[in-house]
Amino acid sequence: MATTITLTGAGGQIGYALLFRIAAGDMLGPDEHVRLRLLEIPQGLKAAEGAALELQDAAFELLDDVEVTDDAAVGFDGANLALLVGARPRGPGMERGDLLAANGGIFAPQGRAIAAHAASDVRVSVVGNPANTNALIAAAAADGVPAEQFSALTRLDENRARAQLAAALDAPVADIRGVTIWGNHSATQYPDISHATVAGRPAADALAERVGDVDAWLDSEFIPRVAKRGAEIIEVRGSSSVASAASATIDHVRDWVQGAEWTSAAVVSRGEYGVPEGLVSSFPVRSAGGRWQIIEGLEIDERSRTRIDASVAELIDEREAVRTLGLL
Ligand code: NAX
């Protein structure tokens, strides 16, 4: 049996980087065969078809089949995993309401198509921005598919945070555990190291030896660096993050399917940590048996509380805007 994977935005930049990692077995392991469904809009079909030709040329032994389509019913047919990468970017002069409306026009129909055509065990990972609220819209439209089967990507933020912390401590990234991204995948996100460890030792203690005032370093260096890393990449590279975003998507899905002790993902809140029920917000999560579980019972200090609340407030605003548009 092969896993059927639907990728939207397959003709785009992240899609191009993702496809070859998936087909190489980086996401589901070296023994799992995959069937790819590349879903695009008509303007993106040629690029997706070209990627499909190159996939053939790579002769991946795990890749059983590739289909390119602009029909969501075909694209999501039998999908076990759906990676929703295609989205409408913010254009010049576009207000947030316009952006949410444009993406509602993509993610609500895709949610409906997933409910109608995907496998009952489908797991949906939303990458296209605004990712949290796009996941909320898709989950709301996917009648009959449990909301737990939807999550949005904050793994790129977490990976950036772990890497920055490792650099500051001059430690291998593998030694860093317990970093959390809270809230929205946006500039309000809160990269939290209060429960992080480096080689088993509290990261804050190790940091104090290097930077002195840890809170000042977090506020002036670490948090802004992580939250604005996307803009830094655009400035230096002249284009947005692509391979690192694809790599984080691989990490996110792999951990969801294969299990993880501690990572971050935007999942539907049941009221944990005071995050209003129903919001798709990033939390510390573990994964077992193919399900995310929010890691509960962590102590949240006042500094963290303020930052979590600020990001959650933005998610509440986005949900209100989406409700006004009649998308929920
Ligand atoms: P590109 O513009 O290169 O590709 C997007 C592709 O999606 C295009 O080929 C377009 O034709 C297609 N598309 C648009 N509407 C579609 C629809 N209704 N159905 C199927 N396909 C559709 O963007 P790229 O650089 O690949 O980025 C994709 C998305 O990822 C963007 O929304 C971007 O903001 C978001 N990101 C999210 C990240 C995260 O951590 N959550 C990080 C990276 C990235 O910024």
**DSSP-derived 3-state class of residue 124:** strand
**DSSP-derived 3-state class of residue 105:** helix
Indicate which atom in ligand 1 lies nearest the CA of residue 72. 19
The token pair that represents 315 in the structure block: 């998610």
What is the mean predicted confidence (pLDDT) over 181-209?
97
Pocket test for ligand 1, best of 37, 41, 234 (most atoms within 8 A of CB): 41
Question: Model confidence over 70-96: pLDDT tens digits?
Answer: 999 999 999 999 999 999 988 888 888
252 is known as an active-site residue: no
Torsion of CA 12, 259, 154, 302, to 10 degrees: 180
Give yes or no for residue 51 CB within 6 A of ligand 1: no
d(CA 113, CA 93): 31
Give all domains of the chain, ordered by start, each with its CATH number.
Answer: 3-152 (3.40.50.720), 155-318 (3.90.110.10)
Give yes or no for residue 8 CB within 6 A of ligand 1: yes
Give yes or no for residue 82 CB within 6 A of ligand 1: no
DSSP 88: P
- Of 33, 117, 185, 252, which one is the catalytic site residue? 185
pLDDT band per the 50, 70, 90 thresholds, residue 303: very high
Question: Model confidence over 40-55: pLDDT tens digits?
Answer: 999 999 999 999 999 9
Pocket test for ligand 1, best of 7, 184, 240 (most atoms within 8 A of CB): 240
Residue 303, C-beta contacts closer than 8 angstroms, at least 6 positions apart:
215
Contacts 24+ apart (CB under 8 A), 304-308: 304/182, 304/190, 304/192, 304/194, 307/182, 307/183, 307/190, 307/192, 307/223, 308/182, 308/183, 308/190, 308/273, 308/274, 308/275
| ipTM above 0.95 for this complex | yes
10 annotated to a ligand binding site: yes
Residue 124, C-beta contacts closer than 8 angstroms, at least 6 positions apart:
81, 82, 84, 114, 135, 138, 139, 142, 145, 149, 150, 151
The upper half-sphere exposure of residue 317, i.e. CA atoms within 13 Å in the direction of its Cβ, equals 12
- Beta partners for residue 260, in sequence order: 287
Give yes or no for residue 106 CB within 6 A of ligand 1: yes
Question: Model confidence over 230-286: pLDDT tens digits?
Answer: 999 999 999 999 999 999 999 999 999 999 999 999 999 999 999 999 999 999 999
Residue 44, C-beta contacts closer than 8 angstroms, at least 6 positions apart:
9, 10, 11, 12, 86
pTM of whole model > 0.80? yes
Residue 241, C-beta contacts closer than 8 angstroms, at least 6 positions apart:
156, 229, 230, 233
d(CA 45, CA 319): 32
160 annotated to a ligand binding site: yes
CA of 105 to the centre of ligand 1 (A): 14
d(CA 8, CA 17): 13
Give yes or no for residue 130 CB within 6 A of ligand 1: no
Residue listed under structure tokens 């920055």: 164
d(CA 250, CA 123): 14
